[in-house]
């Protein structure tokens, strides 16, 4: 009888202990994750002179997320995107980041710009929150490896290497100048040009900066023009690069101009008009009108369905592709979703064909957080960015 009583008491005690410690024994849900949704936060230029880049990046990403949600979401959860504006202004980054943290987002994605990214990266690292898909190719995001930062696009070093090698080797243009904004974005592309030229035993014949986000580019143009370069790499968003083209041509100066994908190709064509003709732009995704590519087909269908009034363009296609990578990582992270699990999920993506062609397969590892290594060179012809593989088809005006 005594033995039975003791047994009952022991069982009761064990049950009480189990009830007390049960909440701590269960896996704790990550911030921004419930049984029904995953919350992702985005800071980008939704207002201001560079709002085209921010709004289009978010639109492209949202189009893919909408299609995923309509199909049931990710492992039974819908993905909800919370967006906030930083106007491509480094001074607004802390406020934008804090706003997303107050929303208790699970991860960050679809950010725009180098000057802002260099502010966000240490914040994300400090809070150990994944940051996936940034519309910038600054080398500081790629090297050294940043555990919490996942890049999708090729780097500015990849873009400038393609440009310099084509100009130097195929066209024989050995005098290269650079016009760039006096900010981290300009510095990043300038460093890429210098690195690419160093491989040929050369350096820029001239490099001049202008005040970022302004059209005060006259002095920089005159400085670089004085060195008589064969080609000039322009750096900036469309609202600053278009004035460089217009003012240069108005002065009768027409070297071969090139620029990187951040410019916003379609916006540049719109703003520069005929002055954009012949400009070389390296792209980090395939042209959005080449529907032979499966990813482009999916993008255009999603855009038409969820944002029927929006015109397809390079920027929103890149946002769409960023969202594809994010969702693939979420799927691989599994039902018991954690921030570390998302990073490991993306790191497990190897040589994945997402429908952009053999050269643009997505590949990651624990030692490499850059999805793409290749770029697609294009030249503006008749108001459209036309891809090419032979640099000999590119000639100065």
Please state the rounded mean pLDDT for residues 305-322.
Answer: 97
Q: Per-residue pLDDT for 16 more than 50?
A: no
Query: Is there a common fold for 37-154+289-366 and 157-283+377-393?
Result: yes
Q: Rounded distance, CA 176 to CA 116, Å?
A: 28
The band of 17, judged by pLDDT with boundaries at 50, 70 and 90, is: very low
Tell me yes or no: is domain 37-154+289-366 CATH 3.40.50.2300: yes
Instruction: Assign 9 a pLDDT band (cuts: 50, 70, 90).
Output: low
pLDDT score for 28? 62
Average pLDDT over residues 335-358: 98
Distances (CA, A) of 285 to 16, 149, 237, 378: 59, 20, 17, 11
Report pLDDT digits (tens) over 41-77.
999 999 999 999 999 999 999 999 999 999 999 999 9
Does residue 60 contact residue 303 with C-beta atoms inside 8 Å? yes
The mean per-residue pLDDT over the stretch 227-243 comes to 97
* CATH superfamily placement of domain 157-283+377-393: Response regulator (3.40.50.2300)
Give residue 280's pLDDT. 98
Q: Is the pLDDT of residue 10 over 70?
A: no
- Residue ranges of domains in the chain: 37-154+289-366, 157-283+377-393
**DSSP one-letter code for 77:** B
Average pLDDT, the chain: 93
pLDDT > 90 in the chain, percent = 91
Q: What does the DSSP 8-state code read for residue 201?
A: T
Neighbours of 303 (CB within 10 A): 26
pLDDT band at 295 (very low <50, low <70, confident <90, very high): very high
Mean pLDDT in residue range 378-387: 97
Per-residue pLDDT averaged across 125-149, rounded? 97
pLDDT of residue 395: 74
């Amino acid at each position: 009888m005594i033995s039975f009583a003791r047994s009952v008491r022991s069982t009761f005690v064990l049950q009480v202990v189990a009830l007390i410690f049960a909440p701590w024994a269960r896996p704790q849900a990550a911030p921004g994750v419930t049984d029904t949704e995953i919350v992702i936060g985005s800071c980008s230029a939704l207002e201001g002179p560079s709002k085209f880049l921010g709004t289009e990046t978010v639109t492209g990403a949202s189009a893919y997320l909408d299609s995923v949600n309509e199909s049931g979401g990710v492992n039974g959860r819908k993905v909800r995107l919370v967006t906030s504006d930083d106007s491509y202004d480094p001074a607004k980054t802390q406020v934008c980041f804090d706003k997303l943290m107050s929303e208790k987002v699970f991860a960050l994605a679809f950010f725009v710009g180098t000057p802002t990214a260099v502010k966000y990266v240490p914040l994300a690292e400090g809070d150990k929150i994944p940051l996936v898909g940034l519309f910038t190719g600054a080398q500081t995001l790629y090297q050294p490896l940043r555990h919490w930062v996942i890049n999708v696009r090729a780097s500015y070093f990849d873009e400038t290497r393609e440009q310099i090698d084509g100009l130097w080797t195929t066209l024989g243009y050995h005098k290269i100048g650079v016009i760039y904004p006096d900010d981290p974005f300009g510095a990043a592309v300038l460093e890429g040009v210098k690195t690419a030229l160093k491989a040929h035993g050369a350096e820029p014949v001239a490099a001049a900066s202008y005040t970022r986000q302004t059209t005060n580019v006259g002095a920089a143009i005159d400085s670089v023009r004085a060195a008589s370069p064969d080609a000039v790499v322009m750096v900036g968003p469309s609202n600053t690069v278009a004035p460089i083209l217009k003012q240069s041509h108005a002065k009768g100066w027409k070297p071969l101009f090139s620029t990187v994908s951040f410019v916003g190709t379609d916006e540049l064509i719109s703003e520069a008009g005929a002055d954009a003709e012949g400009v070389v732009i390296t792209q980090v995704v395939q042209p959005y009108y080449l529907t032979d590519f499966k990813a482009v087909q999916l993008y255009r269908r999603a855009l038409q369905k969820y944002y029927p009034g929006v015109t397809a363009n390079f920027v929103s296609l890149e946002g769409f592709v960023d969202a594809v990578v994010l969702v693939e990582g979420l799927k691989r992270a599994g039902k018991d979703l954690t921030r570390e699990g998302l990073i490991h999920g993306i790191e497990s993506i190897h040589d994945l064909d997402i429908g952009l062609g053999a050269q643009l397969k997505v590949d990651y590892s624990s030692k490499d957080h850059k999805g793409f290594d290749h770029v697609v060179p294009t030249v503006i012809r008749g108001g459209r960015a036309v891809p090419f593989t032979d640099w000999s088809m590119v000639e100065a005006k």
